Amino acid sequence: MLVAHGSRDPRHAATVTALAARVRALRPGLPVEIGYLDHCTPRIGQILSRLDGAVTALPLLLNHAFHARSDIPGALAEAAARHPRLTIRQAAVLGPAPLLLDALDRRLAEAGVRPSPGTGVILAAAGSSDPTANAVTRAVAADWQRLRGWAGVEVAHASAAPPRLADAAAALRARGVRHIAVAPYLLAPGLLPDRIAAEAAAAGVDTVADPLGAAPELAQLLLLRHDQATQAAATVPPLAVSA
């Protein structure tokens, strides 16, 4: 079960649906459902009420912050208590992972930007009130710069915590970077990607890639997280233990 936060923006659900279709295409024998925490239907509890046996919940989250630590485990535990026939396990979040860097490269290439010594990138994430989660995003940016050869990679947050996109652009320019592109470190279109695009325009950054969306690398990563959770289940008790 892909677990998404949900959004009032219909582009969000359309992206999740497309991503689920990619996962099904990669592994036709694996049943794939979608459950939402908020705003969209079906909700997590609605999906689990009609399932039996073992279920692996795959959070559509890039970082292990509040939703992964609190909202999703709470919803899964509630469902497990209501449906004792289920064994529910929560897989790890998507990031960090090399496949996410591949997906970021894909989106920038589609926008006409490829790694070069004269090109800098702003990794524009949602941001979190949890400093540990923000530190993980900074580590992703550092790895991306080191592994791909960008002139620089700076992090910007669309909410919750600084730095903002204008600060990141200024930092790259101070390092002598002349060509700057923005890579949204977000899964689907919506409020935050729109805010990032507006801030990029205000900061004089011309190129803004699309969010990660239903990139094939994300579908591969979801199956990797599923397999890791399934393998761990042989020796580790479920995260949400059935009653």
Do 146 and 177 touch, CB atoms closer than 8 A?
Answer: no
Apex 29 CA angle, 186 and 92, nearest 5: 35
Q: Which CATH architecture has domain 112-208?
A: 3-Layer(aba) Sandwich (3.40)
What's the rounded Cα separation, in Å, for the pair 35 and 44?
A: 4
The string of DSSP codes covering 75-121 is HHHHHHHH-TTEEEEEPPPS-S-HHHHHHHHHHHHHTT----TTEEE
**Tens digits of residue pLDDT in 196-233:** 999 999 999 989 999 999 999 999 999 999 999 999 98
The β-bridge relationship of strands 2-4 and 152-157 is unpaired
**Tens digits of residue pLDDT in 37-48:** 999 999 999 999
Q: Residue 240: what pLDDT?
A: 44
User: What number does CATH give the domain 2-94+216-232?
Assistant: 3.40.50.1400
Helix (H, G, I), strand (E, B) or coil at 189: coil
Neighbours of 214 (CB within 10 A): 19
Residues of the chain with CATH 3.40.50.1400: 2-94+216-232, 112-208
pLDDT tens string, the chain, 243 residues long: the values are 999 999 999 999 999 999 999 999 999 999 999 999 999 999 999 999 999 899 999 999 999 887 788 889 999 999 889 988 899 999 999 999 999 999 999 999 999 999 999 999 999 999 999 999 999 999 999 999 999 999 999 999 999 899 999 999 999 999 999 999 999 999 999 999 999 999 999 999 989 999 999 999 999 999 999 999 999 986 555 444 332
**Tens digits of residue pLDDT in 63-76:** 988 778 888 999 99
Q: Residue 235: what pLDDT?
A: 59
